[in-house]
Amino acid sequence: MKNKVPGLIIFFCAVSCIAISLVSCTTVKEYQKNKLNDAEMQLSSRKIEKTELNFQSYREGASGANGGKTGGGCGCN
């Protein structure tokens, strides 16, 4: 329980920052998206991280919300 509270506070702060950003967001036209469309700006996890995400989901108690797997496959070892 001790660690749950700071975690939720951090998450709440992060969401608050994003909420503030959302309020100030501007409409970006397609021709203005050259930086946003950069291959390294994509928000989802990248192909090269695939095995990293798998081993983290096996070696750590937590998983999910990162594009990695949340079930299926053994991870027995």
Partner 1 sequence: MIAALSQGSRNTDSVYKKRKLTFEEANLVSSYYRQDGNNAAVTGGIGSEKLTDFSNSIDLKLSRYDQRGRKHSFTGELGIDHYTSASSDKIDPSTISSASHADTRFYPSLGWSMENEAKGSTIGAGVSFSTEFDYKSFGANINFAQKTKSRSGEFNAKLQAYFDQVSLIYPIELRNRGNGDDDDYATTPRKSFSGSLGWSQIINRKLQVMLEGELVYQQGYLGLPFHRVYFTDNSVHVENLPSNRLKIPLGVRANYFIGDRFILRTWYRHYHDDWGINSNAMQVETVVKITPFFSITPFYRFYQQTAADYFAPYKSHTGADTYFTSNYDLSKFSSHFFGAGFRIAPPEGIFKIQRLNSLEMRYGHYKRSTGLNSDIVSLNIKFH
Task: Enumerate binding residues for partner 1 (CB under 8 A).
Answer: 1-4, 6-8, 10-11, 14-15, 18, 21-22, 24-28, 30, 32-33, 35-36, 38-43, 46-52, 54-56, 58-66, 70-74, 76-77
d(CA 73, CA 53) in angstroms, rounded, equals 13
User: In whole angstroms, how close is the CB of 67 to partner 1 at the nearest point?
Assistant: 9
Shortest spacing between CB 15 and partner 1, in angstroms: 7
Cα 27 to Cα 3: distance, rounded to the nearest angstrom: 39
CA–CA dist 52, 49 (Å, integer) = 5
